[in-house]
Amino acid sequence: MLNGPMLVARDQAHGRLAALIESNKPLPVSLEGETIYYMGPAPAKPGDIIGSCGPTTASRMDPYTPLLMDCGLLCSIGKGPRLSAVADAVVRNNGLYLYAYGGCGALYAACVTSVETIAFEDLGPEALLRITVRNFPVIAAIDSNGKNIYPVS
């Protein structure tokens, strides 16, 4: 169970972060020691903090993850297997990839205690967010020793 703040980003925000890094431009937030949850929230109902917020398929972020980890990202959260380049980056950076359960968007929404847009607001649900969670269930899928619950491709 995770507790505390984490970033939220999907494909488009990852692409923008990678482009900034490759252009040697400042990032809107430091990645040092951060966790990124791959998720695009559904609109919140009146009175709710966030709408359904289940995980996105992690492999969609695989082209960007090694670069982001080499720039300080510690942990990513999503669903499904990762490429060997990501598993290698996890080990190289003493990081972690956590599996979030697909189909549990309402459960994850109940774990979110706050939401803040950090950058790329024009991307709507794909904007870079910071959320705070309480009792957010995940399992370790790839650890810093290279143990992987998935066959590596």
pTM, 2 dp? 0.96
Summarised one tens digit per residue, pLDDT across range 123-152 is 998 999 999 999 999 999 999 999 999 976
Name the pLDDT band for 85 (thresholds 50, 70, 90). Answer: very high
The domain tally of the chain equals 1
CATH number at residue 87: 3.20.130.10
| In-domain check, residue 125 | yes
Domain of residue 14: give its range: 2-142
| In-domain check, residue 31 | yes
Say how many CA atoms lie within 13 Å of 72 toward its Cβ.
Answer: 9
Summarised one tens digit per residue, pLDDT across range 28-37 is 999 999 999 9
